[in-house]
Amino acid sequence: MIWLDFTMFLILAVLFLYVFSSSTVTVLHRIYLLLHVVFIMWPLFQFASQTTSATSFRLLYLSGSYIGLSMLGIGWFIFILYLTGQSYVIRKSRLLVLSIPALISVAVVAWNPSGMFLTVDAKLEPLKQLQHGPLYWVMIGQLLLYLSVSLVILLHKLRRKDESARQRQMVRTALIGLFMLSSFALGDLLINLYLIDRLDNYFPLISVGLATTATYIVNAISRNRVFDIIQIVQRDVMNTMSMGILVLDENDIILEVNKVLKPLLKLRIGDFFRPLELASQFKEESSKQLLALFEAQKARSMERLEVELNVAINHIRHVIVQSAPILDGKKRIIGRVLTFQDVSELRMLVEETNSQNELLHQRNNELMVMQDELFQANKKLEHMAITDGLTGCYNRRYLLQQLEEEVVANIRYGIPFSLFIFDLDHFKMINDRYGHLTGDEVLCSTVDAVRSALRPTDVLARFGGEEFTVYLPHTNKEQAELMAEQVKMTVEQNKVPSGIGDGMISVTISMGVISIDRFDAASLADPKTYLRNLMAQADAALYEAKYNGRNRIVKSKLA
C-alpha cells in the first residue's frame, strides 16, 4: 500500500496545479489552495515514512503527516467561512483565538512528550509498530470540534430561504465534501486503529479520502464556476463603464479592450501594443502628446501619468488618457492599464462656469479665512476646556472623563493600569517666601520635569492647587513602582530660579500609587463609583506619604 499514498499525493498535487493555473486567483482561491496544501501533507509524509526503516526518520515523517492532519480542521473551517460569505468573522485578533485548538494539537504532535502522542516500536510486527498515545485524542478532539462547527454553519446556511441558488449550490458542495472527508476519516480510524489486528495490510483511507474530497471539490469548482464569478463581474463592469480601458501585460501584449474602446481605436486582444500605431490614429498635436506620455512612462514606470488630448472622433472632442502600472503583491510591474475618458461635456461646462468661478473665488477665499479663524478659535476653546491654563497639562474634568472610558475598557479586556496622585511638599512655604509668581514657575517647571519622566501614552493632569494625577495605561505594579521612583527622582533633581540673586529652589513630592491588575466584571455596572474608589485609595496613600514625613512614595494597600 506504500504506492497508494504516493499516488494520492500525486493526484492532490496535480489538482493543486490545475486550480492554480486555470482560474483567476482570488481570496477564496488562496484559502482553498492553502487547504489543498494541508491535504497534500498527509499522503506525502505517509509515503515518506514507508520509504525508510530508521525509526527516528519514520517518527519524523509521521509527525509531519499528523501536523498536516492537525491543521486540516482549522483550514476547512476557514474555507467554509469564506465559501458561505462569512469572511468577516476572520480577523487577525479572532483568527488567533479560532486557531488555538489546532495550534495546541500541532504543538502536541511536534513535542510528543515521552511518546504520549506517537511511538514507533520496531520490535513489533509491521502493522503494529505504530503506537498512538493518549495525546493522540487531543488531535482527534480538535478535528471533531472544527468539523462539527463547520457542519452547523453549513446546515444553518442551507436552511435559510434568502440564499441565492448559486450560494446554496456552494453550500451543498462544501457539505458533501465534509461528509466524504468525515466518512473516510472514520473508516480509517475504525480499520487502521481498532481492526488492524485482523488485517494483513494497512489501508490509507485518509489519503484516499483527501484525494477523493479534493477531486470532488475541484470538479465542482470547474463545473459550477464557483471561483470565476469575480472574473465575470470584472469583465461585465469593464464593458459597462463609459471610459475606454486597455489592459497590457508586462510584455505589452493586449489582454483586454472593453466595448467602448473597440469601435474607436484599431486594437485587438493578443496583438503587440505599439504606441506609434496608436498615436497615428490621432491628429498631429495629439499624436505628439500621446507619444510623449509613453516616453515618460518608460522613464517613470512606477508612476501614474495622464495627458489631455484635443481630438475629433465622432462626438468626442476632449479625452484624458491615463497610463498606470499594474503591481503584484511584491510591488513588481506585471502590466499596464490605459484609460481613455471622454471629458468633452465636462470641458464645456468648465468653460461656461469659469467666469462664475472667478467671481466666487474671492468670496470663497474670504469664507475660508473665516472658517480658518473659527477653526482656530474652536481648537483654542477645546484646548482650554481640557487643559490647565497655568501648567498646560490636562485638567481634572478631562482626566476623569478619560479615565471613565479607559477603566471600562481595561476591566472588560483585563488590561492592567496604574494611577499616581502626588503633590509638592511644603508648596505654601514657597509661595509665602518667594511669592506666587515664583510659585507658579515652580509648578510649571515641576510639571515639565514630571512629563519628561513619563511615556507619551501616560496622562498627566492637575487636580487643583499643587496636587496632580497621572494615569499610566498598560502598566502593572512593578512597572508603576519603577515609574514612580523615576518621577520622584526627576523632580528632586529639578532646579528652579528663586528670583532672588542666584538662588535655586528644589522641591520634593509625596506620592500615592495604586496598580490594578485584578478585575471584577461587576465593576462595569457602575464605573464612576469604581473610579471614585480607586482615586480615594490613591489619595489615601498620598496622605499616608505626607503623614510619614513627605518626599516618599506609598503604594496603596487596599487595591
Q: What's the pLDDT score for residue 559?
A: 45
Please give the mean pLDDT across all residues of the chain.
Answer: 80
One-letter amino acid for residue 21 of the chain: S
Cell 444553518 found at: 156
Q: Is residue 522 pLDDT above 50, yes or no?
A: yes
| Residue 507 pLDDT | 92
DSSP-assigned letters across all residues of 507-540 = --EEEEEEEE----GGGGG-HHHHHHHHHHHHHH
Residue 439 in this model has a pLDDT that exceeds 80: yes
Contact by Cβ (8 Å): 110, 179: no
Min mean pLDDT across 103-117, 311-325, 396-410 is at 311-325
Between residues 248 and 483, the one the model is more confident about:
483
Average of per-residue pLDDT across 417-430: 91
| Beta carbons of 458 and 473 less than 8 angstroms apart | yes
Please give the pLDDT value at position 164: 63
Check pLDDT > 90 for residue 520: no
DSSP state of 190: I
Half-sphere exposure of 275 (CA within 13 A, CB side): 18
Please give the residue that has the higher pLDDT: either 142 or 124. Answer: 142
| Cα separations in angstroms, 170 against 151, 341, 461 | 14, 39, 58
Can you tell me the mean pLDDT for 52-74? 81
CA atoms of 210 and 175, how far apart (whole Å): 15
What percentage of the chain has pLDDT greater than the value 70? 82
The pLDDT value recorded for residue 486 is 94
> Is residue 380 pLDDT above 60, yes or no?
yes
pLDDT at 374 over 80: yes
pLDDT at 314: 64
Q: Which of 18-32, 122-136, 403-417, 444-458 has the lowest mean pLDDT?
A: 18-32
Nearest-angstrom CA–CA distance, 241 and 174: 35
Identity at 441, one-letter amino acid code? E
Q: Would you place residue 489 in the very low, low, confident or very high pLDDT band (cuts 50, 70, 90)?
A: very high
Q: Which pLDDT does position 460 carry in this prediction?
A: 93
Residue pair 502/458 in contact by the 8 Å Cβ criterion: no
pLDDT, tens digit (0-9, with 9 covering 90-100), for 84-141: 666 656 666 677 788 888 888 888 888 888 888 888 777 777 666 677 788 888 888 8
H helices of 160-309, in order, are 165-189, 205-224, 229-240, 275-279, 284-299
Cα 61 → chain centroid: 34
Q: Which among 558, 403, 425, 420 is positioned nearest to 492, based on CA atoms?
A: 425
Would you state the cell numbers that stand for residue 558, as one nine-digit string? 487596599
Q: Hey, what domains does the chain have and what are their CATH numbers?
A: 2-231 (1.20.1070.10), 241-342 (3.30.450.20), 394-555 (3.30.70.270)
180 vs 355, residue with greater confidence = 180
Instruction: Please tell me the distance from the alpha carbon of residue 154 to that of residue 473, in angstroms, as a whole number.
Output: 43
User: Which grid cell sits at 324?
Assistant: 498606470
Across the beta sheet with 467-473, the strand order is 394-395, 459-464, 467-473, 417-424, 509-516, 553-555
Contact 269, 249 (CB under 8 A): no
Q: What is the CA radius of gyration of the chain?
A: 36
Contact 204, 212 (CB under 8 A): no
Dihedral through CA 539, CA 541, CA 542, CA 546, nearest 10?
140
Confidence of residue 478 (pLDDT cuts 50, 70, 90): very high
pLDDT at 344 over 50: yes
End-to-end alpha carbon distance in the chain:
66
Model confidence at 406: pLDDT above 60: yes
The letter for the amino acid at 113 is P
Tell me the pairing of strands 316-327 and 130-132: unpaired
pLDDT in tens, 158-198: 787 766 666 677 778 888 888 888 888 788 777 766 665 56
Give pLDDT, residue 551. 92
Q: Pick the more confident residue, 546 or 252.
A: 546
> How do residues 193-238 score in pLDDT, each as one tens digit?
666 556 566 667 777 877 888 788 777 766 665 555 555 556 666 6
Is the per-residue pLDDT at 22 higher than 70? Answer: no
Spatial CB neighbours of 100, under 8 Å, sequence gap ≥ 6: none
Nearest to 419 by CA among 532, 289, 503: 532
Most confident of 32-36, 316-320, 535-539: 535-539
Would you state the pLDDT for residue 168? Answer: 75
Beta-strand relationship, 305-313 and 459-464: unpaired
Q: Is the pLDDT of residue 509 over 90?
A: yes
pTM of the model: 0.42
| Residue 471: CA count within 13 A, CB half-sphere | 24
